[in-house]
Amino acid sequence: MLARHADGAVVEDRSDHDDLVALLERYEEAITDGSSKTGVGIDHFTRTRNNFNGYSTPSFWGHRTDGTATGFSYISGESPRELGASGRA
């Protein structure tokens, strides 16, 4: 799915959006020690680059209806990095 979307692009495909919502719902069932990924509700998803020390990885971020956003790891279940309404950490 990542390959179908460009960096910075909003996920417009309804099927992809629904699959990502379902993934977040399952994530919340499995990872109960962190904050809610869906919060008050997911408005949309974007493909984003996560930049680390010397490398970056593509990912999807969920943008909530209250203006906040969250990243999530479906592989390792790492705690998400929360963003404020500005979209910045």
- Assess whether pLDDT exceeds 90 at residue 39: no
Q: What is the CATH number of the domain that holds 71?
A: 3.10.450.40
- In this structure, is residue 75 part of a structural domain? yes
- Assess whether pLDDT exceeds 80 at residue 58: yes
User: For position 75, what pLDDT does the model report?
Assistant: 56
Structural domain range at position 66:
2-83
Q: Which helix (H) or strand (E) holds 15?
A: helix 14-30
Q: Looking at the 3D structure of the chain, how many domains does it have?
A: 1
- Assess whether pLDDT exceeds 50 at residue 32: yes
- In this structure, is residue 89 part of a structural domain? no
The residue among 70, 65, 28 whose CA lies nearest residue 46 is: 70
**What is the share, in percent, of the chain residues with pLDDT greater than 70?**
80
pLDDT band per the 50, 70, 90 thresholds, residue 76: very low
User: For position 79, what pLDDT does the model report?
Assistant: 43
- In this structure, is residue 36 part of a structural domain? yes
Token readout for 11 is 């996920």
Indicate the average pLDDT of the chain. 81
- In this structure, is residue 88 part of a structural domain? no
